[in-house]
Structure 1
Amino acid sequence: MTNNQILVDEKPADIGQFTVGRLLPIRKKRQVGPFTFIDHMGPVALGKGKYMDVDQHPHTGLSTLTYLFEGEIAHKDSTGANQIITPGDVGFMTFGKAVTHTERTPAQLRNSNRFTMHGYQVWVALPKELEDMEPNFQFIPKEELPRWQDGQTLYTLVAGTGYGRQSPLKVYSPLFMLKIESPEEQTIKINGELKGEIAIVVVTGSVFEKDSEIKAGQMLISKTENHCDIHVTKNTQLLLFGGKPLGREHYLLWNFVSSDREKLKQAKEDWQDKRFPKVPGDDTYIPFPDIRLK
């Protein structure tokens, strides 16, 4: 490990009836490019009365990206979007000025059978001029994502640009999210293929950096843009996140992100006074927690 790198361990975070491993933000690094939160969901066994049920809650000033390895999530929001996200698909909710949504185990999985839930949800801050944009939801099926093979290594470009390719997902700043699957021990070249800050999340397997081993559940952040290569062990899966920093500090208050502290305070008041739009047919409500502005 060098002075230009940060090693991050997952920290448990409660999101209602579901616990995730939080990789970002950390004290030393609040964002990687425009990425503000990286949450790892599972792998966890669900079924027989135990399901994912995140009740109606709000967001402002950001986009959330849901990407699954196993299981399914039913997304519903106040724009009227209603979509089941399955492994390999991309669900991308851009909240802008104000949206509420729910995330639940779909009805067809609510039976006596057990299943595994495993995936990631990431938050992407919006540029200042787009923080109050109109909300929208995008769904990209896995078949439409750029996917290619180099030797035995399989690459999937989930979002943004990289390796001379571009994802069909519309994003609002220069960024990338890339999945790499390597069945063999090797060194994977990334220098010149991805632009901006880089975070390497180990999903399975491990990465060797100098004399250090980065294992599943850990993340390596490069503070510079010239991370040359990654040495991986057999059967390693990685997610790479990053991009150009937005150039302005962003603040967090619960589920709200903004470059303006006053907007966060107003969003808090609006949620407490129940002035946000509602998910059609859903009367659930998650109260504002006892937290401070970050």
Structure 2
Amino acid sequence: MSTIHLIIEPRTRDLGGFTVGRVLPYAKRRTVGPFIFFDEMGPAEFAPGTGIDVRPHPHIGLATVTYLFSGEIRHRDNLGFDQVIRPGDVNWMTAGRGIVHSERTDDQARKNGQKMHGIQSWVALPEDAEETDASFHHHPKASLPVIERDGVSMRLIAGSAFGRTSPVKTYSPIFYLGVEASAGADIPLPDEYDERALYILSGVADIDGERHDRARMVVFNEGAKPHIKAIEDTQAMLLGGAAMGKRHIWWNLVSSSEARIEKAKADWAASADAGFKDSVFSLPPDEVEFIPLPSD
């Protein structure tokens, strides 16, 4: 019996000259553990004078985590946090009842141009934490545990795995690992979680005798014990956790309640109409632009 439940290949999205591969949500698989959104950003190269400009927008009911392999992004939010994230660092933003943030290329990186590659993912919050206070935490690369096995190095981005725990505050059982494996090395998979997946960023992996190339997510069956071997030098992400249950997702809003999403939509529209003065949502300091509520 196969250890593999499903293989997901990214669908390409062009975000104004910047290509991402959308993996989750997927029609046949909406989540893996609490992971409800998973994008591979790039690889891309920005010429001098160009960069990312994601205007302020709202989130509810989730936590976002950005993890870069190259390039940098400047995060600003309406809590007042202003933080540049660089490769190996973690920006973990808990939206809870609501937060507004922007993501842009900083001035110096825009001037020089840069290569950009990374993963942006959203983690759904359990129902008892969906309305928690919004927060933001930056974790430098050096603060994250590194787990070494024969020919494999794994950086623990969030959660617990292989007897280690990341300093990132999470709200449900989860694991998230950045993996670098040498050719011929066995890649271990945590076995204490119900839902688990491997996303191959580069290289080739053999799973129980089948070859799997880059840019695909392999979702494993519950309780499976696959044998994963790097055929060549391979970079990948391991992720998963406890099943989260049904979640609704619309634009940047996630909730177990459709009514809560409708309220957040109305709150964003009303806040924009009020110029973000004395309203539910506010803009980050020094930001005046914003993304209007989509029409559909």
**Same fold by TM-score greater than 0.5:** yes
Deviation at 1:17, TM superposition (A): 6.0
Kindly indicate whether the alpha-carbon contact (under 8 Å) linking 1:200 and 1:220 is maintained by their aligned counterparts in 2. Answer: yes
Kindly indicate whether the alpha-carbon contact (under 8 Å) linking 2:182 and 2:234 is maintained by their aligned counterparts in 1. Answer: yes
For 2:254, give the aligned amino acid: V
Structure 2 counterpart SS, 1:187: coil
| Match in the other structure for 1:279 | 284
Deviation at 1:282, TM superposition (A): 0.4
For 1:76, give the aligned amino acid: R
Structure 2 counterpart SS, 1:5: strand
For 1:285, give the aligned amino acid: F
| Match in the other structure for 2:145 | 146
Kindly indicate whether the alpha-carbon contact (under 8 Å) linking 2:173 and 2:241 is maintained by their aligned counterparts in 1. Answer: yes
Structure 2 counterpart SS, 1:273: helix
Deviation at 1:75, TM superposition (A): 0.4
| Match in the other structure for 1:239 | 237
Structure 2 counterpart SS, 1:267: helix
Once the two structures are overlaid, the 10-residue window that deviates more, 132-141 or 10-19, is 10-19
For 1:283, give the aligned amino acid: V
What's the TM-score once normalised by structure 2's chain length? Answer: 0.92
Deviation at 1:152, TM superposition (A): 2.4
For 1:130, give the aligned amino acid: A
| Match in the other structure for 1:289 | 294
Structure 1 counterpart SS, 2:186: strand
Within 5 Å, which residues of 2 pair with 1:1-294?
A: 2=2, 4-15=4-15, 18-111=18-111, 113-190=112-189, 192=191, 194-210=192-208, 212-246=210-244, 248-274=245-271, 275=279, 276-291=281-296
Deviation at 1:47, TM superposition (A): 2.8
Gaps of 5+ in 2: 272-278
Gaps of 5+ in 1: none
Deviation at 1:188, TM superposition (A): 2.4
Once the two structures are overlaid, the 10-residue window that deviates more, 159-168 or 195-204, is 195-204
Q: Deviations over 1:218-239 (max 9, x none)?
A: 1111131333331222210110
Structure 2 counterpart SS, 1:123: strand
Kindly indicate whether the alpha-carbon contact (under 8 Å) linking 2:51 and 2:113 is maintained by their aligned counterparts in 1. Answer: no
Deviation at 1:210, TM superposition (A): 4.0
Matched residue count: 288
Deviation at 1:289, TM superposition (A): 2.0
Kindly indicate whether the alpha-carbon contact (under 8 Å) linking 1:127 and 1:172 is maintained by their aligned counterparts in 2. Answer: yes
Structure 1 segments of 4+ aligned residues over 4 angstroms from their partners: 14-17
For 1:43, give the aligned amino acid: P
Kindly indicate whether the alpha-carbon contact (under 8 Å) linking 2:208 and 2:226 is maintained by their aligned counterparts in 1. Answer: no
Once the two structures are overlaid, the 10-residue window that deviates more, 11-20 or 262-271, is 11-20
Deviation at 1:216, TM superposition (A): 1.3
Once the two structures are overlaid, the 10-residue window that deviates more, 22-31 or 269-278, is 269-278
Kindly indicate whether the alpha-carbon contact (under 8 Å) linking 2:145 and 2:165 is maintained by their aligned counterparts in 1. Answer: yes
For 2:134, give the aligned amino acid: P
Q: CA RMSD in A?
A: 1.7
Q: Percent identity?
A: 38
Structure 2 counterpart SS, 1:110: helix
Deviation at 1:186, TM superposition (A): 2.9
Kindly indicate whether the alpha-carbon contact (under 8 Å) linking 2:182 and 2:230 is maintained by their aligned counterparts in 1. Answer: no
Q: For residues 152 and 86 of structure 2, what CA distance do their matches in structure 1 show?
A: 23
Structure 1 residues 283, 91: closer, same or farther in 2, change over 3 A? same
